[in-house]
């Protein structure tokens, strides 16, 4: 994990202290501030990133996106994704996404994005931040077809991870990738920065998967 300058961290923390003291609801802990610094590189950019993130969380009403929220419960029932009970080999919480249960022709992008935010929130809450503060996301492409490929949704996920959950992604596993996905990946890779692209790993067998997690933790019933 890339380290951050202690000087930059203390400067960012001091600049945000006045805002956090005035409005405790905007508070973000030290781990979060360091993630923003790693992602945004400079104190000024990280400062703006935290402020924009806090505004987005309020405007988007992230706190309302619980299991009872209509958008969340609907997509949970459709088995679009799930935060697993078990963790990967590094202790990361795991978000499992079953591509076969998704169709670009039968989805409401705003509702699905709300559901993705819910999953990211729930997974983030499971982090033991003193040990590991990032996530493992598994994209299972078993029975994938081009109707499963949703470029606008992928763009939304990339935007969320880069702007509002910076450095939360530890590894993204592309599992059971069919040949037809090769062209899709060529497009998606062009949207990723070098740091994020390095975190994407293609896994073609259970033996390879064992480097990252125990295959038995993946759902077999969705």
Question: Among 150, 207, 203, 206, which Cα is nearest to 177's?
Answer: 203
Strands 81-87, 93-98: pairing kind: antiparallel
- Give yes or no for residue 93 having a pLDDT over 80: yes
3-state class (DSSP) for residue 10: helix
Does one domain contain both 53 and 85? no
For the chain, the domain total comes to 2
Residue 2 has pLDDT above 80, yes or no: no
Whether residue 64 is contained in a domain is answered as: no
Claim to verify: residue 22 and residue 85 sit in the same structural domain: no
Closest CA to 153 of 195, 118, 103, 197: 103
Residues 184 and 205 in one domain: yes
Question: Closest Cα partner for 134 from 92, 96, 164?
Answer: 92
DSSP 56-90: HHHHTTGGG-STTSHHHHHHHHTTSEEEEEEE-TT
Q: Indicate whether 86 and 189 sit together in one domain.
A: yes
Average of per-residue pLDDT across 98-110:
95
Alpha helical stretches, state H, the chain = 6-22, 30-40, 43-59, 70-77, 109-125, 151-159, 181-189, 194-198, 206-209
Q: What is the band of 221 on the pLDDT scale with cuts at 50, 70, 90?
A: confident
pLDDT digit string, tens, across residues 151-170: 999 999 999 999 999 999 99
Q: Which domain holds residue 32?
A: 6-59
Q: At 80, which CATH number?
A: 3.40.525.10
Q: What is the pLDDT of residue 11?
A: 98
Do 14 and 88 belong together in one domain? Answer: no
Global confidence as pTM: 0.95
Tell me if 1 is assigned to some domain. Answer: no
Looking at the domain assignment, is residue 111 inside a domain? yes
User: What pLDDT does residue 1 have?
Assistant: 62
Q: What is the pLDDT of residue 66?
A: 98
pLDDT value at residue 222: 82
In this prediction, what percent of the chain has a pLDDT beyond 90?
97
86 occurs within a structural domain = yes
Mean pLDDT, all residues of the chain: 96
């Amino acid at each position: 994990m890339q380290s951050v300058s202690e000087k930059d961290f203390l400067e960012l923390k001091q600049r945000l202290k006045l805002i956090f003291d005035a409005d405790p609801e905007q508070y973000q802990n030290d781990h979060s501030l360091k993630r923003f610094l790693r992602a945004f590189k400079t104190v000024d950019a990280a400062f703006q990133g935290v402020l924009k993130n806090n505004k987005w969380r309020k405007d988007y009403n992230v706190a309302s996106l619980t299991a009872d929220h209509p958008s969340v419960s609907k997509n949970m029932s459709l088995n679009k994704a799930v935060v697993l009970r078990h963790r990967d080999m590094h202790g990361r919480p795991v978000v499992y996404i079953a591509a076969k249960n998704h169709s670009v022709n039968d989805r409401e992008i705003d509702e699905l994005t709300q559901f993705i935010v819910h999953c990211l929130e729930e997974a983030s809450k499971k982090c033991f931040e003193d040990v590991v503060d990032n996530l493992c996301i598994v994209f299972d492409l078993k029975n994938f077809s081009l109707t499963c490929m949703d470029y606008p949704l992928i763009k939304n996920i990339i935007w969320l991870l880069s702007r509002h959950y910076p450095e939360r992604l530890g590894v993204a596993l592309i599992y059971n990738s069919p040949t037809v996905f090769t062209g899709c990946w060529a497009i998606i890779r062009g949207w990723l920065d070098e740091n994020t692209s390095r975190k994407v790993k293609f896994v073609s067998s259970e033996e390879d998967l064992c480097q990252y997690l125990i295959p038995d933790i993946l759902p077999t019933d969705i």
